[in-house]
Amino acid sequence: MSKFNSFLEEKVMPVAAKIGGQRHLLALRDGLIATMPFIVIGSIFLIIANFPIPGYADWMTSIFGPSWAVKLSYPVDATFNIMSIIAAFAVAYRLAESYKLDAMSAGTISIAAFLLTTPFSFTFTPADAEGVLVTGAISKAFLSSKGLFVALLFAILSTEIYRWVVKKDIVIKMPAGVPPSVGKSFASLIPGLFVLVTVWVIRLLVEMTPYESINDLVTIVLGDPLKMVGLTLGGTIVAELFVTVLWSTGLHGTNIVKSVMEPIWFGAMGDNMTAYQAGEPLPHIVTQQFWDNFIHIGGTGVTFGLVLSMVLFAKSKQMKNLGRLALGPGIFNINEPLIFGMPIVLNPIMILPFVLTSIVTVIVTFIGMDMGLVAKPVGIAVPWTMPPIISGYLASGGHISGAVMNVVNILISFLIYTPFFKIYDRAKKREEDAMNTGGKEHIA
Amino acid sequence: MNILLCCAAGMSTSLLVTKMEKAAEEQGVEGKIWAVPANQINLHVDDADVLLLGPQVRFLLPKMKTLGEEKNIPVEAINPVHYGMCDGAEVLKTAINLVNKK
C-alpha cells in the first residue's frame, strides 16, 4: 500500500502540479470562468422561456402576446451567444496578467484579433429560395460556442505576439512630459498592429484554401476531433479517472482536468443550448453540466452516498463527527471535509470506492442518456453548487428523468461506499477503543 | 493580523474561515480572515499578513511563494487533516506561528 502511495506522491503529483500550474492552461480556465456568470444569467431566461409545464406556452401567449419567447431570448443572445467574445478578452487578460504585461491592452487586442478571424457576412437561405449573401453582419453562431475554440486559440496567439513585441522593445516611447496613461495607450499600438497584421495574413491564407473561414478550419481540424474524443464514453471515463486519481493525492483533480477539458465541455454545453433553443435534438451527452449536475453529486467521487452512509452507520466518534460536519457542505456538492478529513487522500481503502463509484456513475448516466431513458443536459447552466435532484431536474430542462438520474447515482454511491466505509469505520473504532483502554491493543 | 486563505473556488475554505474567526474571537486575536479563489489572489494579497493555501491547490505553492516573497508575507499550505476536519484553532495557530517566525 505504501508503494501505491509513493507512486501517487512521486509520479502523479509532479505531473499534476505542472499541468495545474501551467500558465496557458490556467489562463484558459480562468478566462472561461469569466463567461460563467453571463451563461448562468442567460440560463435563467432560457428556463423561463422553456418552462416544462403543459399549457405554459399558451398561457404566456395569452398574457404577453405571441412574441414573448423571442423577447425572452434577447438576454440569452447577449450572454450565451457572445461567450466567445468574453472568453477572447478574459483569456488574453489573464495570460497577460501572468506575464505582468498590460492586461487590458492584451484583452482588447484579443477581441479585435478574434473578430478579425470572423467573416462579417454570411449566406442566408430563405425557405424555398436561393441563398443570399448578407454582408455587414456577423452570424451570432461565430460568437457563441461555435467560435469558442477560435477565440481561445487566438487569445493565446495574440497575447504571445504581444509579449514578443514588448520583449523586443518595439514600442513607442513617450517623452517624459506626457501623462502615463496616454503613453500606455500609444504603447499598445505597435503590439496591436503586429497582432492584427499576423491574424489578417492568416485569414488571407485560409481564404485561399477550401476552408471558407478560420472558424471552419479550426472547427474541422481541431474542434470536431477533440469533441469526438473528449465527449465519448471512453474519453469521459479517462477524464474522470484522472479527476479521481488526482483527488486521491489531495490535488484539485476537477480543476486540473478542467483546464484541459473545459473548452470542449463548454463548447458542448453551448452546442446543446443552441439546439435546445431551436427545438432540435441535442447533439451531446457530455457537457459541463454532465459533470457538475449529474456526476459530481455531493462533490467529486459522488460522495453524497458516502455522507449518508456515515450519518446512518458511523460507530467511531471520529466518523460520526465528520459525517455531521460533511452533510451540510455535501448538500451543496462540497466535499473537502471528506477528502482531507476522513481522509480519502492517500487512503487506499477509501480511494477504491472513490474511483469505482465515479466510473460506475459515469457509465450508467452516459448509457441512460444515450438510450433516451434520461434527458440529456440541455445547455442550461446550473451552478455546480446546486443541490442534487433539483440540479438534475433543471439541467435536463425540467425533466423528471434528470432528477431520477440523480437519485439513482446517489443510490449507486451509497451501495458502493457503504461496505468500504464500514471496514474503515470499524478500524477507527478499534483505534479509539484501544486508546481508551490505554493503547494495549493499538492498531495503527 | 489579516489571514488570507485561498482554494480553487473559495467555497470549502470559507467554511474553515468561520471556524477560524470563532477561534480568533475566543483567543482575542484581532484582524480579518477571508477566503478567495486562486485566480483572484492578486486583488487581495496586499491586504494580507499571511497567505494559506488549501491542500487541494498546493500545486500552486511555488507560484504563490514567489508572490509572497514580492509582498514580503509568509505563504504555506494548510495541513490536510486540519483542513478536512475544519479545525479553525489549529489553522489559526499555524498562521500566527508563520507571522511570528518572519
Model ipTM? 0.70
How far apart CA A46 and CA A282 sit, in angstroms, is 15
Closest CA to A420 of A346, A343, A349, A316: A349
HSE at residue A240, side-chain half, CA atoms within 13 A, is 30
By Cβ distance, the residue of B12, B63, B80 closest to A21 is B63
The CA distance from B30 to the nearest CA of chain A, in Å, is: 26
Whole-structure pTM over 0.90, yes or no? no
For residue A423, the tally of other CB atoms under 10 A from its CB is 12
Region B73-98 average pLDDT: 89
Percent of chain B with pLDDT over 90: 26
Q: According to the model, what pLDDT value does residue A228 have? A: 82
Q: According to the model, what pLDDT value does residue A195 have? A: 94
Per DSSP, what are the bridge partners of residue A327?
Answer: none
Is A21 touching B (CB cutoff 8 A)? yes
Cα A183–Cα A163–Cα A214 angle in degrees, nearest 5: 110
User: How far from A213 is each of A122, A161, A207, A268, CA to CA, in Å?
Assistant: 11, 21, 6, 21
Is A77 touching B (CB cutoff 8 A)? no
Whole-number mean pLDDT of chain B? 87
Q: According to the model, what pLDDT value does residue A90 have? A: 95
Measured between beta carbons, the chain B residues lying within 8 angstroms of A97 are: 42
Q: Identify the closest residue of chain B to A252 by CA–CA distance.
A: B56
The CA distance from A287 to the nearest CA of chain B, in Å, is: 20
Q: Is residue A330 a contact partner of residue A234, using CB atoms and an 8 Å limit?
A: no
Task: Kindly list the averaged pLDDT for each block of 10 residues, start to end, along chain A of length 444.
Answer: 70 73 84 88 86 80 85 89 94 92 93 92 75 82 87 95 86 73 73 93 91 86 84 92 88 83 89 89 93 93 95 93 90 89 87 95 96 93 91 92 96 96 92 74 46
Which among A8, A9, A340, A346 is the top mutation candidate for probing chain B, defined by the most B β-carbons within 10 Å of its own β-carbon? A340
Q: Identify the closest residue of chain B to A320 by CA–CA distance.
A: B85
Is A347 touching B (CB cutoff 8 A)? no
For residue A344, the tally of other CB atoms under 10 A from its CB is 25
Per DSSP, what are the bridge partners of residue B50?
Answer: B3
Q: According to the model, what pLDDT value does residue A172 have? A: 67
By Cβ distance, the residue of A94, A340, A385 closest to B83 is A340
Q: Identify the closest residue of chain A to B58 by CA–CA distance.
A: A251
Q: According to the model, what pLDDT value does residue A155 have? A: 96
Q: Is residue A260 a contact partner of residue A16, using CB atoms and an 8 Å limit?
A: no
For residue A84, the tally of other CB atoms under 10 A from its CB is 30
By Cβ distance, the residue of B58, B63, B84 closest to A339 is B84
How far apart CA A389 and CA A402 sit, in angstroms, is 7
Q: According to the model, what pLDDT value does residue A1 have? A: 52
Q: Is residue A257 a contact partner of residue A239, using CB atoms and an 8 Å limit?
A: yes
Q: According to the model, what pLDDT value does residue A443 have? A: 46
Residue A334 burial class via C-beta count within 10 angstroms: exposed 0-12, middle 13-18, buried 19 and up: buried
By Cβ distance, the residue of A94, A322, A343 closest to B80 is A343
Is A237 touching B (CB cutoff 8 A)? no
Q: According to the model, what pLDDT value does residue A444 have? A: 43
Q: According to the model, what pLDDT value does residue A2 have? A: 65
Contact: A255, B57; criterion CB under 8 Å? yes
Closest CA to A262 of A234, A288, A232: A288
B86 catalytic, yes or no? no
By Cβ distance, the residue of B12, B39, B59 closest to A336 is B12
Is B80 touching A (CB cutoff 8 A)? yes
HSE at residue B21, side-chain half, CA atoms within 13 A, is 12
Cα B28–Cα B12–Cα B97 angle in degrees, nearest 5: 40
Measured between beta carbons, the chain A residues lying within 8 angstroms of B57 are: 20, 251-252, 255
Query: Which residue among the candidates B7, B51, B53, B57 is catalytic per the annotation?
Result: B7
Q: Identify the closest residue of chain A to B39 by CA–CA distance.
A: A30
| Domains of chain B with CATH codes | 3-101 (3.40.50.2300)
Contact: A250, B42; criterion CB under 8 Å? no
